[in-house]
Amino acid sequence: MIMYAFFGGLVAFIFFNAEVSPTKPAPVSTNGSSTLSSSSPAKLNKEDCDNVQMTVDSLSLRTIGHSMIFGTGTAKNISKDSLRNLQAELSFYTADGKFVESAISDIKPNPLVPGKVASFSAVNVINNGTPEMKNISLKVHSVMGDEVNIVTQEMYNLICK
């Protein structure tokens, strides 16, 4: 499983290459790489640490039978402010990175006070002819569209602590 962080401003998009299991979610792990796009490397710099608002503790992809695929995860508010009306935008991809579909989930609880962990989940229905989904990406934003700066907990601990 490989993690890629896409930096837009700071960190706004995390991409996980998950081996999908029909019975259990894939754990989050990283190889420490982060990219601006799939072909252009970038890094979380120490000076950007104060701008990170949430750390992603888990993100998994699992199938239920042959008809549904779930993306679920947890994230922690590490900012000094309560974060309100957040949504997780989960995008599903094939093993070779071709976009299939996305789904949006409200992040609960709302508001998310500093130091608290939130959860989210989204489902995608698998129809006949839908490509097999192996990868998932996460983008967090408010319902008004303001992006939230996110990074994996592992990367935050490595760079910012």
C-alpha distances out from residue 127 to 97, 121, 161, Å: 19, 20, 45
The backbone torsions φ and ψ at residue 150, rounded to the nearest 5 degrees and listed phi first, read -125, 155
Instruction: Among 2.20.25, 2.60.40, 2.40.160, 2.60.120, name the CATH number for the domain at 2-160.
Output: 2.60.40
What stretch of H or E contains 159? helix 153-160
- Per residue, the 3-state secondary structure of 107-157, as one string, reads CECCCECCCCEEEEEEEEECCCCCCCCCEEEEEEEECCCCECCEEEHHHHH
Go through the chain and tell me how many residues it has. 161
Give the confidence band of 4 by pLDDT, cuts at 50, 70, 90.
very low
Per-residue pLDDT tens over the stretch 68-82: 888 888 999 999 999
Per-residue pLDDT tens over the stretch 13-62: 454 544 433 333 333 332 222 221 222 233 577 888 888 899 888 888 88
Q: Does the predicted TM-score (pTM) go above 0.85?
A: no
pLDDT at 6: 36
